[in-house]
Structure formats: structure tokens, C-alpha cells
Amino acid sequence: MPFERKASPSSLIKSIMDNFETEFTKKINKYKNKWGEEARLFHIVEETGELFEILMHYKGYKKKNKNKNDIKIALADILDDVLALSKIYKISFKDLFYAVVNDEKKL
């Protein structure tokens, strides 16, 4: 059997990120009414408020009726807006995530 060359971890990550970005772009391009920068920023604030409302319940500061799935959904909603803003500003997901992982202040 011939030796099969495996993809390096960095090329695998790049491939996953490129595929994710392609799929996300398809998702947001499906919408008839695409939000611009201002609407996305307003929505991030709204979704962040919803996350904190869920956390108030989850942590018991209010009647405890929320769970980790509610937290996951709220975080996903915020991430959706962050990723949409990265598309508006033409910042690749790969560059965005590498900046987070490498604690970069500049891209």
C-alpha cells in the first residue's frame, strides 16, 4: 500500500474555516432583507441582553427556568451577528479566528 500523505493540522483548519465561511455566506445570502452594519450592531446588543437575561435565570438570580441549551442558542445568535459583520467588513473567518486564538490586536 502506498504511503498516504496526511494533511497538516494548519491546512485542515484552513479547509474547515473556508468551508464554514462558504456555508455561512450561502446562509446570509438567502435572506431577501439583508441587514447592514447598523442593524447587525443593534442586533448584537439585543442578543447580548437576551444572553444576560438567560444567565440571570440560569444562575438563580431570577426564577430558574433556563438551561445550557438556552445559553448555547443565545451565544450562537451573537456569533451569527459577529460573523455577518466580518463579511460586511471583508474580514475572512480564518483571519478573525486566528486573531482570537493568537490574541492579535491587528489583523
Residue 95 has pLDDT above 60, yes or no: yes
Residue 90 CA to residue 30 CA, distance in Å, equals 18
Read off the pLDDT of residues 30-79 as tens digits, 9 standing for 90 and up: 887 788 889 999 999 999 999 999 999 999 999 989 999 999 999 999 99
Contact 94, 21 (CB under 8 A): yes
Contact 72, 10 (CB under 8 A): no
* pLDDT recorded at residue 51: 96
Residue extents of the structural domains in the chain: 36-107
pTM: 0.73
CA distances to 3, 31, 59, 96, 106 from 100, rounded to whole Å, are: 36, 28, 27, 7, 10
| Helical packing angle, 9-30 and 93-101, nearest 10° | 130
